[in-house]
Amino acid sequence: MRPSLRAQFTLQDIYGCSSAISRLKDLAVRAAKTDFPILLTGESGTGKELFAHAIHNLSRRAGAPFMAINCAAIPESLLESELFGYEAGAFTGASKSGKAGRLEVAAGGTVFLDEVGLMPLALQPKLLRLLQYGEIEKIGATGRLRVDVRVIAATNRPLSMLVAEGQFREDLYYRLNVIGMEIPPLRQRSEDIPVIAAAIMQRLNATYPELSKQISPEAMSLLQCYVWPGNVRELENLLQRLFALVDGQMLLPHHLGGLLPGGPWEGASPVASLGQHLALVEKDMIQEALRNTGGNKSQAARLLGVPRSSLYEKMNSYGLRKNSNKHR
């Protein structure tokens, strides 16, 4: 089997300790025991495709093909032939031997239809027939072909809304939504952020051991305050940038300042979140100055551009221990 037709991820690759993720993992295990269609919903970057891979690998179809198809990435004029295939001479420029569609290639396995809400209305009846009767019709064919595939679909727009707008067939919606799984956004499960961030950093450190880094507790607190509009994908993107650009082995709050400017932040008041952010950055800068001067507070004060008395006040307010007088 070609590597591109294999599911790459398992439940162990879905990180999180929240009750929401735990419930979804339990549901994935149950869903994998049947061949019923599954509809995965949630914002972009929440991990819908990871769940599709994991469910396939848990199912009786695990040794068969896993075909991921992004309905938004294939031009509408080509989508029908890509999905369902065509017979020889079906249209000008068609291969003389015809072509098997991706659904036929995935026979015996699982098809993951990402962005299914963008499937053209004209093609939706053909997908409906596959779900109802297990049959597809190639372009130019005079008959139908039996295909045994399990369908997992995903969308970041509620299909019920698209049905109401006349952009998606209601009968197809119900056929796809036999088992519904809604993946919550990262802002609703901030307790998962340390687990996910640690897994990302572990993978980066294993790939680039010469650049090995850790996330300081203060920086992790900031990551948990941020709302993450791009969800896990945005978090991974940020950590990759920090990993590549930051010198030293510790990712600190001030490293995040230019990358997460001004919000959005979780909490009742953006001002309170900004104050918390600035306090963490200030504490971080004091600690870094003390490290760079070997604990010499006079040199650290000069490095920071503040009077030594102000440095002492700040150290006291942040609970930073004063060292012996030899570093005064």
- Picking from 184, 214, 238, the residue at the C-terminal end of a domain is 184
Based on the structure, what is the number of domains in the chain?
2
pLDDT in tens, 130-139: 999 999 999 8
Residues 83, 105, single domain; the answer is yes
Q: How far apart are CA 28 and CA 22, in angstroms?
A: 10
pLDDT in tens, 103-150: 999 999 999 999 999 999 999 999 999 999 999 999 888 889 999 999
Question: What does DSSP assign to residue 2?
Answer: -
pLDDT at res. 203: 96
Which CATH number does the domain housing residue 202 bear? Answer: 1.10.8.60
Q: Tell whether 320 is covered by a domain.
A: no
The answer for residues whose C-beta is within 8 angstroms of residue 171's C-beta and 6 or more apart is 128
pLDDT at res. 271: 40
Residues 18, 147, single domain; the answer is yes
Residue written as token pair 């295990």: 29
Which CATH number does the domain housing residue 165 bear? Answer: 3.40.50.300
Residues 29, 55, single domain; the answer is yes
> CA nearest 170: which of 159, 157, 182?
159
pLDDT at res. 88: 80
Q: Quickly state the pLDDT bin for 275 (edges 50, 70, 90).
A: low
Residues 16, 139, single domain; the answer is yes
CB 177 within 8 A of CB 138: no
pLDDT at res. 27: 98
Q: Tell whether 306 is covered by a domain.
A: no
pLDDT at res. 93: 66
Residues 29, 135, single domain; the answer is yes
Q: Is 283 helix (H, G, I), strand (E, B) or coil?
A: helix
- Picking from 125, 153, 184, the residue at the C-terminal end of a domain is 184
Residues 62, 201, single domain; the answer is no
Residue written as token pair 């039996």: 146
Q: How far apart are CA 220 and CA 193, in angstroms?
A: 8
Residues 129, 66, single domain; the answer is yes
Residues 142, 99, single domain; the answer is yes
Percent of the chain with pLDDT over 90: 62
Per-residue pLDDT at 94 exceeds 50: yes
Q: How far apart are CA 149 and CA 109, in angstroms?
A: 5
Per-residue pLDDT at 26 exceeds 90: yes
Exposure pattern of 96-114 as b/e (b: 16+ CB <10 Å)?
Answer: eebbebbbbbbbebbbbbb
Q: Which domain holds residue 57?
A: 3-184
Q: Tell whether 318 is covered by a domain.
A: no
Q: What is the mean pLDDT of residues 178-203?
A: 96
CB 283 within 8 A of CB 320: yes
Q: How far apart are CA 115 and CA 229, in angstroms?
A: 18
Q: Tell whether 321 is covered by a domain.
A: no
Residues 41, 167, single domain; the answer is yes
CB 41 within 8 A of CB 181: yes
Q: Which is it for the CA torsion 92, 96, 100, 102, positive or negative?
A: negative
pLDDT at res. 134: 96
* Amino acid making up residue 285: M
Q: Tell whether 301 is covered by a domain.
A: no
Q: How far apart are CA 293 and CA 242, in angstroms?
A: 24
Alpha carbon 72 to chain centroid, angstroms: 17
Peptide bond into 253 cis (omega under 30): no
Q: Tell whether 75 is covered by a domain.
A: yes
Q: Which carries the bigger pLDDT value, residue 320 or residue 30? A: 30
Structure token digits, residue 294: 């070997």
Q: Tell whether 297 is covered by a domain.
A: no
- Picking from 149, 184, 219, the residue at the C-terminal end of a domain is 184
Residues 33, 117, single domain; the answer is yes
- Length of the chain as a residue count: 328
Residues 197, 178, single domain; the answer is no
Q: Tell whether 114 is covered by a domain.
A: yes
In the chain, the N- to C-terminal Cα span, in Å, equals 68
Q: At what angle do helices 297-304 and 308-317 cross, to 10 degrees?
A: 100
Pairing of strands 214-215, 250-251: parallel
Residues 15, 151, single domain; the answer is yes
pLDDT in tens, 258-274: 777 555 555 433 444 45
